[in-house]
Amino acid sequence: MTQTRPRLLLIDGHSMAYRAFFALPAENFSTTTGQTTNAVYGFTSMLINVLRDERPTHVAVAFDVSRQSFRTEQYPEYKDGRAATPDEFRSQIPLVQQVLGAMNVTWLTLEGYEADDILATLAHQATEAGFDTLICSGDRDALQLVDDDVTVLYPVKGVSELSRMTPEKVQEKYGVPPHRYRDLAALVGEKSDNLPGVPGVGPKTAAKWITTYDGLDGVIAAADQIKGKAGENLRAHLSDVLRNARLNKLVCDLVLPKSAGELLWEGWDAEATAELFDVLEFATLQDRLRSQLSERQVGEFTAVAELPEVVATFRRLETGELAGWLESRDPSEPVGIAVAGEFAKGSGHITGLALSDGEEEVWCDPAAFDPGDESAWLAWLADPGRRKAVHDAKGLLWACAGRSWRVAGIEMDTALAAYLIRPDLRSYALEILVERYLGRELTAASTTADQPALEGIDAAGEDEAALGRRAGAVRDLAGVLAGELASHDVAGLLADMELPVLYVLADMETTGIGADTTHLSSLEAEFAGRAKEAVAAAHAAVDQQFNLRSPKQLQEILFEKLGMPKTKRTKTGYTTDAEALAGLFAKTGHPVLEAILRHRDVEKLKQTVDGLLAAVADDGRIHTTFHQTVAATGRLSSSDPNLQNIPVRTGAGREIRRGFVVTEGFDALMTCDYSQIEMRIMAHLSADEGLISAFHSGEDLHTTVASRVFSVAPEAVDAEQRRKIKAMSYGLAYGLSAYGLSQQLTITPEEARGLMDEYFDRFGGVRDYLRSVVDEARRKGYTETMFGRRRYLPDLSSDNRQRREMAERAALNAPIQGSAADIMKVAMLRVAAGLREAGLTSRILLQVHDELVLEVAPGERDRVEALVRDRMSHAAELAVPLEVSVGFGRDWDTAAH
């Protein structure tokens, strides 16, 4: 095809999106609100590629309306037997259509007809109008349209690889010309459409007959002459063949809302795609649009930073050159830093160090430092006036701690900055941020045509240059993100909260907490024994051995052998997750379910203890890793091991906590946490006088609130009433719906709604606040904590009810939970500073949820307690007091209060 004529690109929307759905793993493609996006992503990626490669002048996408069409009227069994369309796919079709809208691409449907019929009609119109036509479809029926003016782009690998099916290609592959493909399909049949063909007749036989007898009509006329079993089968199934031929024929004369000539593609809408792709979290696709289809862009981006030109050169610093390089840098300009090596908490081996001032990228080996280099480096690294930019600076801090290098002057951590700007991104890897904000690939060489790469560079040199590029990327990214921080009004959070917290976390991780391995090993053995007992009980309950971890075997036992009520249907059968089994147990009370659930609980505990034992370092301590960029609300998380998944209120959880102990040189562990901090923040933000009064009364909050809601004296509030109010109060703070509350309290949704109404009647300020939060977030597009931390929630305006309601719950939750997280970080910073300023040896070991764990040195208990209570209770000024609970003990559990 040449570009001398108009070129029409037609796409079968359902066909290509469905292929993308199965080509890309769903678990790797979903938004933070839970919307699966693999089909949307794959389809959009394919669309960008085809638009780039084929340069169409006109574009349209056709979709099926449903499985019902004129074909099912003629043959009700048409397409019978197909598996039900997965909900995860069905929910993505409207999103694909939204993408097409943002791309200014026309999409069409027509009741009673299939997408293929729409494409056939448009292709026929285009040929008559003198167009070249491309049809992108995974449905082989489209091959009957191929001719000198029409080419089918048929997917051969997912949707990323397309084969050009020209008349020659169709003839080569199927042995018949395109206009005879329908004849071949009629004889062979189409399993996916439930159109059985002639038994024993494959494409080769069918092609031979069609060639010999000049088409299907000739084959039918000569049916009596065809010998053998194949001829016998043909004669027995002629009615099937005729039916197939009738149904396979595509309709070419539909009346459509737009004709081929009205499908002019004038380019993609930059602002609309930027907004939608942000919602879908398609950063790389947005960058591909900008880089690959920029000449077809309509409008401008609303907020795209000016991209710095990559002009930096690279060189390797020899021994003795680092001091001069550092001295010649302008102190007012930040330097990007990247290090290579093996790093662990509190130790590390640096094999390479790269620095960039934006004009030059340099590499050096710390092992080759001479005294002058080392002295200059240590002075520069510790100088708070020398501005430094790092990506994920904790690795640098670990490495430097291992060498006793002091680090100051980090004014930019590009991972933390990107997190504050967009707290819901899936990844903050440097490669992704560079592609998103700088519009380039980190793997690409940083040299330009005028500055070639080092001649004769070896593999080691390539690694050195790559590290230099990382330093340069960090430096360039720092400049762009600084502007983004300012425009989002969160620069202060980075400078005053997140970066200082980074130092405290690195110290805590390096210090670790003592572990009693004897106690933990005993627990591991106990849980293993209890797991075996649960397995034996499950086998005895059904008089059969089976694998309790196998969903397939569980399905056979529960639903086939025992005939239990069916749970939710999934791709692999009926679900056997914990929630479903708990529901079954509540209905049936069958002992096998009790044993299975008990086994799962004990297995989780055993896995937790196994993880703790594996994490004990050579120093006898557990060094968890804290993460600042995981939770969109600002809360910290931990891993290796995860200390937030240890049960707090169960006996088994307390037993596990007894494995965290005070160590030699210290007297006790100290725990200190905030009491009901989310509810205190709720009272402050809502300014509800009743709730504020309840906190100031000094009485039990939930009892006081219950007495007002149920109109009884505080002493008359029973345990059930208090439980309901506690669940209600925390549920409201976390966006709980009436249905969610009913499930939690095991009451009807109507009772739950009545309880909420009574609560709001007594505490109208809370009701008004919760309404205003969602309304303001919808107006502004984001929520804010008391400290200005933002969370963007574009789904608040979504047409998808499920996504919109999820965003509304997040809007209720984010200011409260986020403010609690911010207060905890401020408290941690103030406690750490207080200990340092007072010259105390006691130290912070852990921060888990709303709790700090400290190791208290001999003779410092009273001073540390007073300091911690003061610093934590004054971390924020609220309308109600911040109450701090403190406890001491030889282990984490006995230190609880």
What is the pLDDT confidence band of residue 449, given thresholds at 50, 70 and 90?
Answer: very low
Nearest Cα to Cα of residue 336 among 387, 294, 289: 387
Q: For residue 305, what pLDDT is reported?
A: 43
Q: Which of 424-438, 551-565, 602-616 has the lowest mean pLDDT?
A: 424-438
- Distance separating alpha carbons of residues 419 and 550, to the nearest angstrom: 39
- pLDDT at 348 > cutoff 80: no
- Distance separating alpha carbons of residues 286 and 99, to the nearest angstrom: 11
CATH 3.40.50.2300 fits 671-676+820-889, yes or no: no
- pLDDT at 803 > cutoff 90: no
Task: List the Cα angle 689/690/691 in 5-degree steps.
Answer: 95
Q: For residue 82, what pLDDT is reported?
A: 61
Q: For residue 33, what pLDDT is reported?
A: 66
| Averaged confidence pLDDT in the chain | 87
**Rounded to the nearest 5°, which phi and psi values hold at 150?**
-125, 125
Nearest Cα to Cα of residue 501 among 397, 424, 402: 397
Q: For residue 229, what pLDDT is reported?
A: 86
How do beta strands 58-62 and 7-12 pair?
A: parallel
What is the pLDDT confidence band of residue 300, given thresholds at 50, 70 and 90?
Answer: low
Helix (H) or strand (E) holding 195: strand 195-196
Q: Write out pLDDT tens, residues 118-167.
A: 999 999 999 998 999 999 998 888 999 999 999 999 998 777 788 999 99
Q: Write out pLDDT tens, residues 655-673.
A: 999 999 999 999 999 999 9
Q: For residue 414, what pLDDT is reported?
A: 96
Q: Write out pLDDT tens, residues 318-339.
A: 999 999 999 999 988 999 999 9
Rounded average pLDDT over 840-854: 96
Residue partners of 544: CB distance under 8 A and separation at least 6: 557, 561
Percent of the chain with pLDDT over 90: 49
Nearest Cα to Cα of residue 653 among 662, 643, 661: 643
Residue the block writes with tokens 């719950």: 809
- Distance separating alpha carbons of residues 394 and 400, to the nearest angstrom: 10
Q: For residue 309, what pLDDT is reported?
A: 54
130 against 284, higher pLDDT: 130
CATH architecture group of domain 313-488: 2-Layer Sandwich (3.30)
What is the pLDDT confidence band of residue 264, given thresholds at 50, 70 and 90?
Answer: very high
Q: Which of 360-369, 725-734, 748-757 has the lowest mean pLDDT?
A: 725-734
Q: What Cα–Cα distance (Å) separates residue 596 from each residue in 526, 551, 575, 608?
A: 18, 12, 14, 18
Question: How many CB atoms are closer than 10 A to CB 79?
Answer: 17
Nearest Cα to Cα of residue 792 among 492, 302, 421, 483: 421
CATH architecture group of domain 514-653: Up-down Bundle (1.20)
Quick check: 123 and 135 in contact, CB under 8 A? yes
Q: Write out pLDDT tens, residues 678-737.
A: 999 999 999 999 899 988 988 788 888 888 888 889 889 998 888 888 888 888 777 777
- Distance separating alpha carbons of residues 721 and 710, to the nearest angstrom: 8
Q: Write out pLDDT tens, residues 31-60.
A: 766 678 889 999 999 999 999 989 999 999
- pLDDT at 830 > cutoff 50: yes
Token readout for 366 is 């710390």
Q: For residue 456, what pLDDT is reported?
A: 33
- pLDDT at 354 > cutoff 90: yes
- Distance separating alpha carbons of residues 246 and 73, to the nearest angstrom: 13
- Sort residue 676 into left (φ over 0), alpha (ψ -120 to 50) or beta: left
To the question of pTM greater than 0.85 for the whole model, the response is no
Q: For residue 458, what pLDDT is reported?
A: 42
How do beta strands 668-674 and 884-889 pair?
A: antiparallel
Question: How many CB atoms are closer than 10 A to CB 27?
Answer: 8
Q: What Cα–Cα distance (Å) separates residue 312 from each residue in 465, 667, 800?
A: 11, 55, 47
Helix (H) or strand (E) holding 61: strand 58-62
Q: Where are the beta strands (DSSP E) in 370-423?
A: 388-390, 410-413
Q: For residue 879, what pLDDT is reported?
A: 96
Token readout for 704 is 């006081």
Q: For residue 447, what pLDDT is reported?
A: 34
Q: For residue 311, what pLDDT is reported?
A: 61
Quick check: 473 and 442 in contact, CB under 8 A? yes
**Rounded to the nearest 5°, which phi and psi values hold at 595?**
-70, -40
Q: Which of 17-31, 74-88, 272-286, 458-472 has the lowest mean pLDDT?
A: 74-88
- pLDDT at 457 > cutoff 80: no
**Rounded to the nearest 5°, which phi and psi values hold at 505?**
-65, -40
What is the pLDDT confidence band of residue 452, given thresholds at 50, 70 and 90?
Answer: very low
Percent of the chain with pLDDT over 70: 94
Length of the chain in residues, anyone? 897
* CATH number, domain 678-814: 1.10.150.20
> Is the C-alpha dihedral spanning 682, 684, 685, 688 positive or negative?
positive
Runs of H (alpha helix) within 590-688: 591-615, 651-657, 677-686
- Distance separating alpha carbons of residues 753 and 731, to the nearest angstrom: 13
Per-domain boundaries in the chain = 7-166+251-262, 313-488, 514-653, 671-676+820-889, 678-814
Quick check: 808 and 796 in contact, CB under 8 A? yes
Q: Write out pLDDT tens, residues 464-506.
A: 999 999 999 999 999 999 988 998 899 999 999 999 999 999 9
Task: List the Cα angle 527/530/536 in 5-degree steps.
Answer: 145
Indicate the CATH number of 7-166+251-262 among 3.90.1300.10, 3.40.50.2300, 3.40.50.1010, 3.40.720.10. 3.40.50.1010
Q: Write out pLDDT tens, residues 867-887.
A: 999 999 999 999 999 999 999
Rounded average pLDDT over 188-198: 81
